[in-house]
Chains A and B, each alone.
Chain A
Amino acid sequence: MKTHKVEQLIIAAVAFFWCFLMWFATAAFAPSIVVEFSLTKAQFGILASSALWAAPILRPVAGYLADRIGAPKSFAIVLFFTGIMSIVSAYAESYAAIFVTRALVAIAGIAFVIGIQHVAQWFEEEEMGAAEGLYAGTGNAGAGMGMLILPRIYGTDYSSAFLHLGVVALVIGVWVLVRGVSAKSAEQADMAKSTATLRDTAFVWTRFAAIALMFAYAMSFGLEIGMNAWLSGYYKMGFEDAIRQLGFSSIRDVQIAAGTFGAVQSFNASLFRPFSGYMSDLWQRKNWMPFPIISKSLQYSPRIHWLMFALLAITITMIALTIAGLSGNVVISVLILALFGITVSFGTGGTFAIVPLMFKKRPGTATGFIGGVSCLGGVIYPLVYGGVENIHMGYAYVAVFFFIPFMLFFAWAMHWDIHPEDHGIGKKEGWLGK
C-alpha cells in the first residue's frame, strides 16, 4: 500500500488524541457523576485515581505488543476495546457499572507508547525530535481539550458524550487498520519484532540509561498527570480566601476558578511538548553540551544535555511553586504554574526525543518501560503533597527528596561515551544469551 510517513504521523496523532480524550472524559464530567450518584469525597477520590491504575502495568505490555504485531493493529485493539467500553458506560445505570466501565475505558491511556513506537519506525534520526513532539503534543492535548470542551458541549449529559466518544473511537480504529503501516520497511518491522522477547524486556528494564530516562519521565509526565489530579483541590484548599476575594463566592465558582488554574498546567505541558522536540533538534544542530559528567561523545549527546536542562528547570519551578504558595499570592502562583507547565513539556518532549535513538532496536519495549513505570509518579507525588503539614511545601519536598537524586542518577547513567544503553544490572550477554 502506498503511503507517506506524514500520513502515518497523522494516523498515530489522531488515534492517540482520541484515546486521551476518552481517558480524561470521566474527569471532565466528575461533578455531574458525583451529584447523580451522591458520591462521598473518598469515593470520588477512588474514581479519579482509577484513571491511573492501568498505565504502569499495561503500558509496558502495549510497547511489547507494538513491537510484536505492529502499531496499527495494537492501536486498533485499544480503540475497539475502549470504544466499546465507552459505549457500554453510556448505558450504565449504577455507580458500580460506571466505575468498572470507566476504569476499563481508562486503558486508552496506554496508547501513547504504541504511537511512539510507530513514529520511531517511520522517521529519520535528525527529524525524530520534531516528529515525536508533534505526535505526543497533539495527542496529549486531547486530555485538556476534553476537560475544556466536553462539559460545554454536553452539559451534564455525560452518557451522550461517552456514547459519541466510543462510536468515533470505533471509526478511528477501522481507519487505523486500513491505512496504518507498521514500518517504512519490512526489515525495520522485523527488527522490532525480533527484539520483543522476554529476555530483551528484562534486558531493557535493567539498563541504567533506561532507568534514568524513566526517572526523567517520572519528573515530567508522571508529574503532569499527578498535578492534573491534584491542582484543583490545591487551589481550593490553599488559596480559598484569595480566590473568594477575586469575586468567586459560591463553591461552584471557586471550583471553576480552581479547575481553570489547573487547566493552565495541563495545556502548557501538552502543547509546548512539540516545541521541546524542536528544541531538542536545535540543541542537536547547534551541538550545545553545557553540563559536566554527561557524555559529549555520543551522536545524540546534545539531546541528553537538553533533557538535563529541562530536569533542572522542572526542579527550580517546583521550588518556585512552593515559594509562591507561601507568599499567598494566587496571581504569582498561577503565573509560575504556567511556566511550570512549559518546563514539564521540556522534560516530556526531551525524553522521547532520546528514547527512540538510544533504544533503536527495542523502541516499543523501552517506551513501554519508560512511559509506563514513570506513571507511578502520578500516584506518589500527590500523596506527598497531601501528607505534609503545610499544603504549599509538598512541591519543594518532592523537588529535594525525589528530583535531585533522580537528576544525579541521570547524569551518572549518561556518562558512558559508548553505548550507554548497554550498561546495567548484569551483562548484556547474560540477559540476551548471545
Chain B
Amino acid sequence: MSLPAYESGAWAALFLGLLFGIALEGAGFASPRKLTAQFLLRDFAVLKVMFTAVVTAAVGLWLCESLGVIAAKSYFIHTPYYWAMLIGGLLIGAGFAIGGYCPGTSAVGLSAGRLDAAAFIAGMVVGVWVFAGGYSWIAPLYTAAQGPSAQTVYELLGVPAWLIVLVMVVVVAIVYRVAATVEPRFGGQLTAKDIAEGTAEASGHEPGGAARAHHV
C-alpha cells in the first residue's frame, strides 16, 4: 500500500475525528476557561499542547519522508494568501478571547455539555453568512498577496526541512520553560477540579454547599 492512502471514506473520517475529539477533551480544551487562561498567561496548555502536537506530527512526517515512506509534499499544504490568513488569524484570536473557543474546541465543548459552546457555534454560522453575503466585496482581500503554491517555510527561507523541525523543537522547549516561571505568577494552571467547582458554583448547581462552608 502506498502512502498517503488518500482514503476519503466516512468511517476513516469518523475514527480520526474520534481520536481528535478525545485528545482535545483530554487536554481540557472543552473548557473555555482553561482555553482562555492562555491569554491571561495563567495556563499555557493551549500553546504547550498545540506546539507539541505540531512538532510530533512534523517530526513524524520528516521521518516518513526521509525513510521514503511518503514523498515530500505528497499531502495537502495550504497555498499562502498572506493578508487573508493574517487577518483571519487576528479575527479568530480575538473571537477566541471573547467567545472562549475556536471551531474544533467548540465541538468538544458542546459534546461535554456546554451551552455557551452551542451559542458560539450559532455565532460561527452567522459569521459564515456575513462572509458569504459580503463575498463580492471581500474577494480582493481574500485573494490578495498570494504566495507560491503549497509554499513551505523551508522553501521560503531556503534552508533544509530538518532545520525548521529542529528550531520548532527548541521553541517548544522554550515554551515549557517560560510557562513554568510565568504561570504561577498569574494564578497557576487550571485543573479539572478547578473547572468543575467553578462551573458548579457559577451555574448555581451548588449554592453555598459544602465546599464553601469548608472555607468558613
Q: Do chains A and B stick together as partners?
A: no
Residues of B within 8 A of A (CB): none
Please list the residues of chain A having a beta carbon within 8 angstroms of any beta carbon in chain B.
none
